[in-house]
Amino acid sequence: MQEPKKIVELNPPFAERKILLHACCAPCSLAILECLLQNGFEPVVFYFNPNIFPHQEYEKRKAELTRHCKELGVEFIDGDCGRDEWLAATSPYKCEPERGARCLECFKIRLCASAKKAGELGLKIFTTTLSSSRWKSFGQICAAAKFAEEKIGGAKFWDFNWKKFGLSERRAELLKSGNYYNQTYCGCEYSMRNSAPEKSV
């Protein structure tokens, strides 16, 4: 099989080759992992998503992501859930719309956990598949990452916009060819209110 054409040249902070990739699901990881591997990186995939509801959905997304990492030979770390902390932080904003204050709090929790895990592994940078979704605010993600950097210390956030440079289109191609489960809502019970059959993250 012919190797896919490299979409973009990557230049992360510190010229590091091993990075932590916080990942929410397999579909959002497809083009990113391909791009990282094409550029000679060694991604460590970290699954920490206490927002995902119900638990069956959480496990289904984790299983699909685990399968994909195994196929690629990429290290996968299960961050477990942390559901109680997430509910405590986001429930005051349960009536907020998507991309509102609730989403910012959600991103903070997940990226703080990612920054902490990166530090534990001795990695200098971390990034996230959250920025690959057209339904999420890149500005909010970067703000949450800055909060995580200041609170945790150590690892720096790589603020690369993973939906640009043809990566969204490549994601769609890989999703179709790989027959991966593609969810129709962000993950939390609050976002289910605004989900529609045709919407995917």
Across 12-16, 95-99, 106-110, 142-146, least confident range: 12-16
Residue 41 belongs to what H/E stretch?
A: none
- Total structural domains within the chain: 1
Residue range 37-55: mean pLDDT, rounded = 96
Instruction: Output the CA torsion sign for 65, 108, 42, 134.
Output: positive
Domain extent at residue 179: 16-194
Task: Read off the pLDDT of residues 86-141 as tens digits, 9 standing for 90 and up.
Answer: 999 999 999 998 899 999 999 999 999 999 999 999 999 999 999 999 889 999 99
Task: Specify the long-range contacts of residues 142-146, CB closer than 8 Å, at least 24 apart.
Answer: 143/104, 143/107, 144/104, 144/107, 144/108, 144/110, 144/111, 145/107, 145/111, 145/115
The answer to whether residue 11 scores a pLDDT higher than 60 is yes
- CATH number for the domain harbouring residue 73: 3.40.50.620
Phi/psi at 7 (nearest 5 deg)?
Answer: -80, -45
pTM of the shown model: 0.93
Burial 54-75 (b: 16+ CB within 10 A, else e): eeebbebbbebbeebbeebebe
Residue 7 domain flag: no
pLDDT at 80: 85
The answer to whether residue 32 scores a pLDDT higher than 70 is yes
